[in-house]
Amino acid sequence: MIKFKVPVVIIWLDCLARDVFVNMYRNGDLQNLSNYFADGVFVENVITCFPTVSESAEGGIISGYFSGETNMIGERYFSRKSKTIKHYKYNAEARQDFNPKLINKTIDAIIGESIGMGRIIHTANENIEDLKALQYERKGSLKIVKRRIEIASRIILSRKPRLFFFTVSADYISHVYGRNSAEVKEFIKEFDKNFLFLAENLDEAYGKDNYLIFIFSDHGSANVSRHLDLTAILAENGFNPATTDLLTERKYVNCAALSNGRRMGLLYFAHPEYGWSKKISYKQLRSYPHKGEKVDLLKMFASLDGVEQAFAKRDSKSVMVVSRDGEGLIQYDSINKKYKYTVLEGSDPLGYEMEPAWMSEEEWLRATFCSEYPDAVVQLYNMFKSKNCGDIVLNAASGWDFWEPWDISYPVLKASHGGLSKDEMATFLLAKAPFMKKATLEYARLIDIFATIAAYYNAGDLVANSHAVERIF
């Protein structure tokens, strides 16, 4: 039985490939981490939140819910109300879009005295901006690792927060050099080298091993070499899309296309009769009046080179999955809280090749965590609960992304994320705390971190209504 509420330290390594980290950890290349977590918990396959971007992962970790329920579906979305692209770095705030029903049920609210550094959703009591670290990140400099750990140690020693949640980003390095590049491996080694200094300061501030610590990546990435401009596709087909490079209202816009992480796309379409004042129906998506014809928008985009699947909400209890060669249906039984996936025609768009069966969230996770699209059935259904979600969601094909011409001027873009592939969805987790026994777990969801923290703080009632499962403690 837990006898006290221990301080919590969350270390978020942004955009690290699961297979690269796990192989280095298992092969003895990360000696400081291996020694420190020798009596802790190691989870080899941790399935993050779709879309595989930081906003979705953070929303899930702090609440135990998926992106569609936290309303954190990425860095950008199209506002049907204002007819404008909203971007959290420029004209919107994640804290304001985060589901207000969950705001008092986050780990920050549970623990109290929280400090965040590098966080996106400002639910902590205090959020620290480290401009020097941000400069290192944008240059892909390994100096970011030492800088983050030095500042984190200084805060821990001087402030002793009950919750300290900070990020160390390999995002630029992964994008430019590739997901399994020598530069990414050097980043991981640099973190391992500096981690010992952090651990010593944690022991000094809180007492030796007298705290709960998590280390993980928010998502992985996938190799890319080809890019599809979704906005240009719409314009070429006679639509009038919103501009993604100019964040302003356009009076006569009738659609919008954007990506998050560059490998998931969101498509929005005005109602053919009522414009943006009424949301378009699934039936209209499959037969959209355009230039005197009826266009199947799902088929139109699913058939493009660069798109693997297109998803759309069919009704309140089902989501359609469409690929070039087949269609499938995700259904939800709200009474028994089970999901079923059925191939309706052609080949299986998700490649599961499973007989249709009603299964719980845990059963779907166990059945698919090693597949090409882990946890897709559960997470796709729940994503469409977001008011900011597109009418159609796209998953990029292997080797492709939806990088826009105006986007960050990387010298070269070798990897992207946001998509549904295992390379992007699967990550890892290291955990250690009082009363936590040594274990190696085969799989978990990243949002399960919420359940473990809730267990230490006797907040199990909050977990019961979320998707998080306490399996680490």
Nearest residue to 298 (alpha-carbon basis) of 259, 255, 267, 262? 267
Contact (Cβ atoms closer than 8 angstroms) between residue 133 and residue 146 = no
- Is the confidence at residue 405, as pLDDT, over 90? no
- The boundaries of every CATH 3.40.720.10 domain in the chain are 8-81+94-222+421-464
What number is the average pLDDT over the span 384-402? 98
Average pLDDT of the chain, as a whole number: 96
Q: Residues 26-65: pLDDT tens digits?
A: 999 999 999 999 999 999 999 999 999 999 999 999 999 9
Q: What share of the chain in percent tops pLDDT 70?
A: 99
The DSSP 8-state label assigned to residue 192 in this structure reads H
Q: How confident is the model at residue 308 (pLDDT cuts 50, 70, 90)?
A: very high
Structure confidence at residue 410 as a pLDDT band (50, 70, 90):
confident
pLDDT of the residue at 28: 96
CATH number (3.40.50.1860, 3.40.50.300, 3.30.230.70, 3.40.720.10) of 8-81+94-222+421-464 reads 3.40.720.10
Beta-bridged to residue 339, according to DSSP, are 332, 359
Q: Is the pLDDT of residue 142 over 90?
A: yes
Sign of the Cα pseudo-torsion (366, 369, 374, 375, in order): positive
* pLDDT for res 1: 45
Taking only the tens place, the pLDDT of each residue in 165-215 is 999 999 999 999 999 999 999 999 999 999 999 999 999 999 999 999 999
Angle at 140 between CA 137 and CA 143, to 5 degrees: 70
Using CB atoms within 10 Å of the CB of residue 193, give its burial: 0 to 12 exposed, 13 to 18 middle, 19+ buried.
Answer: middle
Q: Where does the pLDDT of residue 4 fall: very low under 50, low under 70, confident under 90, or very high at 90 and above?
A: low
pLDDT of residue 147: 98
Contact 402, 263 (CB under 8 A): yes
Tokens of 441: 């777990």
- What is the structure's pLDDT at 415? 97
Looking at residue 222, its pLDDT comes to 98
Enter the pTM of the model: 0.96
Instruction: For 147-161, write each residue's pLDDT tens digit.
Output: 999 999 999 999 999
- Sole residue written with tokens 């080179």: 305
Query: Has residue 409 got a pLDDT over 80?
Result: no
- What pLDDT sits at residue 406? 87
Are 423 and 444 a contacting pair, CB within 8 Å?
Answer: no
Q: What are phi and psi of 55, to 5 degrees?
A: -60, -45
The alpha carbon torsion through 171, 187, 43, 35 (nearest 10 deg) reads: -160
